[in-house]
Amino acid sequence: MAKRANGEGSITRRKDGLYHGRTYVTTASGFRKRISVYGKTRDEVRTKVTELQAQDAKGVPVPDTNAKVEEYLTYWLASVVKPSRRPKTYQGYESVVRVHIVPGLGRKKLRTLRAAEVRAWLGRVAGECQCCKHGWDADRTEPRCCAAGECCRSVLSRRMVQSIHAVLRNALQNAVREELIMRNVARLVQVPTPTYDTGKGLSVAQARLLLKTAAADRLHALYVLAVTMGMRRGELLGLLWEAVDLERGTLVVERSLQRVEGELRLVRPKTRSSVRTVPLPPLVVKALEDHKERQAQECAAAGDGWTENGLVFTSRVGTPLEPDNLRRSWYPLRERLGLDIRFHDLRHSCVTLLLDLGVPPHIVQQIAGHSGIEVTMTVYAHASLDEMRKGLDKLGDSLS
């Protein structure tokens, strides 16, 4: 038999019965290196060796890293995510990596991570009680009890499972781009599509009563903007007077107040469509004029204790309002009205009321700053029973 050429590869059988194949390829570090593959049959190993040689012939380098998933994710967060993403996004990614991915996959080798391992891990994450880590029964009605006698039932939502999967998928895709791995195994794993709760919208009568009841509140203008303009909580609390033109009746949404790494920061909105200029109806102009006068009185009363930062909505001494502390005003107000809704549902109400009034969806999208019209129509908008009844009555009349 003719002698094999250099780099052609070889296959031998080990004492334990496995077949061992070896061939020289170019690695991601730029060096020629002898790579070993293993299999139960000679044909299986021959296929693996042939694939390596074919990739090498195409100029595709073979990853040669032995880093663990935890080591790579630490590098990815510090060198890729933190410099290029918004602080709040980095904070969310870091939390997912630390709480979920590292405990489950951190000790795995990045180069040999398999789709089956990712799929099994996600299944455990989706089915565990996050308190005692016990799984749920097959019918998902009762959890297996923990040592305390009962389970806290804090099972992750589908949306959270999807987010965990997305972080891992993004991290591994960067590893593919850096030629550390050959393929992104997380992309081979499917997760259940989450269902979005559209929330509870207010009727015109309820919205009018809300604004009337909030008239004596020092944040009355904030509620007017939330219901009438559909602004997000962070956009309201990050609104600057310099972005408001009461004479022309316009408002520019370009900042959002968020707590990041323990401090309040004004940050740019996440999407380009969230930065928008919107006209102000007379109701909003009047509310902002009254609020500006009230704020001037609070500034005079605070004297040297006032902190000027140009924000429209502040504390009584001019400091930014903590987003979570808005509930101190909102909760008593909704209790007086007998409502069981979130503050964010005021934004939902604005979108729904505009659509019910016949405003074109693409105009509603621009007012609310949605990233796409499908968000306007599927996530926020819903048809009331009265509107559905009117539509069905029209169809019934045309068919009768």
Mean predicted lDDT score pLDDT of the chain? 83
pLDDT value of position 141: 41
Say how far apart CA 400 and CA 398 lie, in whole Å. Answer: 6
Residue 133 confidence (pLDDT) above 60? no
Which amino acid makes up residue 368?
A
The whole-number pLDDT of residue 137 equals 41
pLDDT-derived band at 305 (thresholds 50, 70, 90) equals: very high
Place of tokens 């939502």: 157
d(C-alpha 136, C-alpha 140), whole Å: 6
- What gap in Å lies between CA 266 and CA 323, rounded to an integer? 12
Q: What angle do CA 333, 338, 340 make, to 5 degrees?
A: 85
Q: What is the per-residue pLDDT across 245-259, written as a single tens digit (0 to 9) for each?
A: 999 999 999 888 888
Query: What letter would DSSP give residue 41?
Result: S
DSSP one-letter code for 323:
G
User: According to the per-residue pLDDT averaged within each range, which of 192-201, 352-361, 384-393 is highest?
Assistant: 352-361
Q: How many Å apart are CA 253 and CA 277, to the nearest integer?
A: 6
Alpha carbons within 13 angstroms on the beta-carbon side of residue 197 total 9
Cα 2 off chain centre by: 61
Name the one residue in this structure whose structure tokens are 């074109």: 360
Predicted local distance difference test score (pLDDT) of residue 131: 55
Say what percent of the chain tops pLDDT 90: 38
d(CA 190, CA 186): 8
Number of H helices, E strands in the chain: 16, 8
The answer to whether the beta carbons of residues 377 and 352 sit under 8 Å apart is: no
SS3 state of residue 187 = helix
pLDDT at site 366: 86
Distance CA 39, CA 53 (A): 17
pLDDT at 218: 92
Q: What is the pLDDT of residue 200?
A: 65
Mean pLDDT, residues 51-59 taken together: 83
pTM (two decimals): 0.65
- Residues 214 and 204: beta-carbon distance below 8 Å: no
pLDDT at residue 48 greater than cutoff 80: yes
**For residue 110, how many other CB atoms are within 10 A of its CB?**
21
Query: Measuring CA to CA, how many Å separate 352 from each of 169, 275, 279, 382, 390?
Result: 35, 21, 19, 6, 16
H or E segment to which residue 263 belongs: strand 263-267
Per-position DSSP letters for 330-371, written without gaps between them: HHHHHHHHT----TTHHHHHHHHHHHHTT--HHHHHHHHT-S
pLDDT at 130 over 60: no
* Residue-wise pLDDT tens digits, 267-294: 887 777 788 888 999 999 999 999 999 9
pLDDT on residue 8:
57
- Decide: residue 112, CB within 10 A, 0-12 exposed, 13-18 middle, 19+ buried: exposed
Question: Quick one: pLDDT band at residue 265, thresholds 50, 70, 90?
Answer: confident
pLDDT greater than 70 at residue 322: yes
Task: Tell which wins on pLDDT, 116 or 271.
Answer: 116
How does residue 391 score in pLDDT terms, banded at 50, 70 and 90? confident
